Amino acid sequence: EPLETEPATRTTERRGREPRRTPAGRRWTQGRGRVVSMIAHVVLFKPKHDLSAAERQTVIDDLQSAASAIPTVRGFRVGRRIRHGHPGYEQLMREDFEYVVIIEFDDVAGLSAYLAHPKHAAIGSHFMQAAEAALAYDYEMEDWTAKKS
């Protein structure tokens, strides 16, 4: 069943903070009123062990440049893996991806524009040369903390 767009202005209440508005006033629905609040481009990254400081800095600079230069990017988050030591899934992971990049878009068209942008090409060339291993996936994300309007 294809996604349909509906014009909407949606505000979500967040404890102790200002209300958050969905960018571009768009709501994506499918089926029984499910709200897809964004598209997430998720990249898991394990850098090469022998990566020089200059090569690391080039990857960081390219990521920061893309975050600010590509207009369809709604959010751009970079993180480093933490280990909590509790038994369970942490010990079951076969591959140790030290870093994650999560890039948010309003819709698939925004993701497509990002992937076609020259700044993304710069990231891709340095990123793959610096990676021992990497995974990239795209997801439709639902905000389960948002109150239904």
pLDDT bracket for residue 16 (50, 70, 90):
very low
DSSP state of 121: H
More confident residue, 142 or 149: 142
Question: 47 and 130 in contact (C-beta within 8 Å)?
Answer: yes
Q: Which of 25-29, 36-40, 58-62, 77-81 has the lowest mean pLDDT?
A: 25-29
Phi/psi of residue 41, nearest 5 degrees: -100, 110
In whole angstroms, give the CA distance from residue 57 to residue 120: 16
Lowest mean pLDDT among 67-71, 110-114, 127-131: 127-131
CA atoms within 13 Å, Cβ hemisphere of 149: 12
pLDDT for 24 equals 45
Token pair listed for 5: 């767009």
Radius of gyration of the CA atoms of the chain, in A: 18
Question: Average pLDDT, stretch 128-146?
Answer: 89
The residue-averaged pLDDT of 96-108 equals 94
Q: What 3-state DSSP class applies to 21? A: strand
